[in-house]
Structures are given as structure tokens and as C-alpha cells.
Amino acid sequence: MKRGFGSDNHSGTHPQILEALTRVQQDHEPSYGTDAYSETALQIFKEHFGPKAEVFFVFNGTAANVLCLKSLTKSYHSVLCSDVSHINVDECASPENLAHCKLWPLPTSDGKLKLEQLQSAIIRRGDQHFSQMKVISLTQPTEYGTVYQLQELKAIITWAHKEGMKVHIDGARLCNAAVHLNISLQELITDLGVDALSFGGTKNGLAFGEAVVVFDPSLKEDIKYYRKQLGQLPSKSRMLAAQFSAYLTNDLWKKIASHSLNMAQLLLQEASKIPQVKITQATESNVVFAIIPKSWVKALREEHFFYVWDEKTTECRWMTTWDTRPEDIMNFTRKMKELADETSSRPLS
């Protein structure tokens, strides 16, 4: 299929990551995370997240989120999250079913939860009839491609901990946020006191694989068993370890994120030139949200695939990825310009 703007999981494996994967196929390695490659990967994660980081590879993002939430909650706990969060609307009730928590979604316009909103959501503490709010789950960057600023995160996390709550970050595209904010992963996660992180791989150039990162040693024992029980303990664990090691070495993660972000900025810039295109969200990650005329959709999608986010308003999601090329964007926006010209030259009936 031609390169499109459907999702960052529509692209294949980044060549350097694929090469790393092919390099670890020789001979025998013990399985289930006890291999030498897994040990190396763990050390590389510690370089990025600090020595207290404990890392658990899992197969996909739903699993990473569920494993984080399961380790942070008991069955009478609720998780506060955005109404558009992946855990709430794109994981087929996996958190409720596998982590046994209740989700408590709050409305957001830009995907970001606000401190005041969280504060007024904390109700009925100690009331046995009411599932007790225990975790705040933030997506960074959000499903709308917006990014929490450091001070926003700090305010939420400080307050949450004061309230006896925990903070989970769904970081399926976390490196995009780090590059946007121009800070290290340690500054973005560890230093802020995040309790559990879903660290994305698949959407950033890996063939498959995500990592759960936690810092509290008491969680480690539970997660070891929960991962296995959830069907997320990879047997040939070197396959995941090798990919993550490559991703986190020699700034590859930064290069991939920078490229994706640059491509989104190019797309934003070119699309903004077209009067009928209305950008709806700040472009801070690898995605542009825009409303276009409904009549354009079919022709445009034949050129480069993308998703209509909201059928009613024809708000579209255009996502870039590690292999998006400037020519893909120029071709896509050229097509839009053509459609714009057709539209404006069409006589009013």
C-alpha cells in the first residue's frame, strides 16, 4: 500500500531496528527475559530512566497499559482518564476486564486533563459504595497530538501524590513528546515521579513491542507474575530486547521522533495555506487534526489513506511516521489544493 497518513503503525520496521533484530538470531539464548540481550536492554533503559527503572517488555500497547493499571490498583479503584483516551475507547474494555479497575473518563477538548478538573473529580473518599479514585492516567502526547508541558505534569503529579494517588503515563509515542519538549526521558518521567509508564515501541519504528517501566521496587514482584498471567511474557525475549536496544542507542529514538515531528510541521504548514482546511488542534507531535470539506474525503483518501476522526464535522487525523517523506506530504497537499480550486471554481447552484 502507498504511504499514507493513517497511523504510525502502518509503517514497517525501521531499518536499523530490523537489522538489530536479524543480528540476534544465532545460537541459543535462555528464554523469558533471562537472556543476555534482555540484560543489555535493561541497562540501556536505566541509562535513560535512571538506575531505579525496572523494565518489563510486553507485546503491545493495550497490554502495557493494562499491566501498569493492574499493578497500581485493587479492584475497588478507579482510574481517571480523558474521555478520548486509548484505555477508554480503543481497548475494548481491556482495563476493566484484565486490570479489574473502573475507568472514570473526564471530558477534554484537547486531550489534556486539567488539574482543576481532576481536583473536582475526586469525590466520595472512603465511601464503600463508590469505587475509589486511585490512579490518574495521562496520555503523553495525547490522542490529539498535544503535549503536556513539564509544569502541567509536575502540578498534577505533585497533587496526585499528596492525595495518595498514583500516576500512569500512556506513552505509546512518548519520545515524540520528549523531543517536542527538548528534554530527556529521565526529565520527562523519572524526575517528575511518574509511577508507571507504558513506553511505546511499535508506533515508533519497532516491528512490535512495548515496555512497562516502573520505579517502585515493590511493584516489581507483582508485575513479574501479572505479565505472565496476562499472556505477555515473550518466550524468545531477545526479539524485543534487541529492538529496544537499537531504538534507544545512538539517539535513534530522537532521530525517529524528530523526523516524524518535522513531517507533521511540514504538513501543518502546507495545509494551513489552503483556506478550506481548518486546523483544530495544536500540532505538537506527529499528527495534524483538521476539518476539511466532506466532498474531498474520497478522492484524498485514494491518494493517501487517513482516518476521518469525526464523521459529523469531517475532522480528519493525518499522522506522520518514521518513513513519511516530504514528497508524500507535498503530493497530499497538492491534491488538496486541486480539490480546493475545483471547489471554489464550482458555480453556486
Q: By C-beta, is 190 or 232 nearer to a copy of itself?
A: 232
**90 is a site residue for a copy of itself (CB under 8 A):** yes
Map the footprint of a copy of itself across residues 116-135, applying CB under 8 A.
128-132
For residue 54, the cross-strand partners are 214
Nearest approach in angstroms of CB 17 to a copy of itself is 10
Q: By C-beta, is 270 or 328 nearer to a copy of itself?
A: 328
**12 is a site residue for a copy of itself (CB under 8 A):** yes
Q: Distance between CA 131 and CA 41 in Å, rounded?
A: 38
Nearest approach in angstroms of CB 40 to a copy of itself is 14
Map the footprint of a copy of itself across residues 227-246, applying CB under 8 A.
227-236, 238-239
Which secondary-structure segment (H or E) carries 242?
A: helix 238-247
- Compute how many other C-beta atoms are within 10 angstroms of the C-beta atom of residue 75: 10
Alpha-helical segments (H) within 73-114: 86-89, 94
- The CA-atom distances, in angstroms, between 114 and each of 80, 124, 195, 254, 282 are 11, 20, 19, 28, 16
End-to-end CA distance of the chain: 38
**106 is a site residue for a copy of itself (CB under 8 A):** no
**98 is a site residue for a copy of itself (CB under 8 A):** yes
Map the footprint of a copy of itself across residues 190-229, applying CB under 8 A.
202-203, 207-208, 222, 224-229
The DSSP call for residue 54 is E
**74 is a site residue for a copy of itself (CB under 8 A):** yes
According to CB under 8 A, which one of 50, 158, 305, 331 is a site residue for a copy of itself?
Answer: 305
Binding-site size for a copy of itself (CB under 8 A) equals 76
Q: By C-beta, is 131 or 272 nearer to a copy of itself?
A: 131
Map the footprint of a copy of itself across residues 330-349, applying CB under 8 A.
none
According to CB under 8 A, which one of 30, 47, 269, 326 is a site residue for a copy of itself?
Answer: 30
Rg (CA), the chain: 21
Q: Return the range that interacts with a copy of itself (CB under 8 A); candidates 88-96, 151-159, 161-169, 280-288.
A: 88-96
Find out whether 77 and 99 touch, Cβ atoms under 8 Å.
no
Region of 307 please: left (phi>0), alpha (psi -120 to 50) or beta. beta
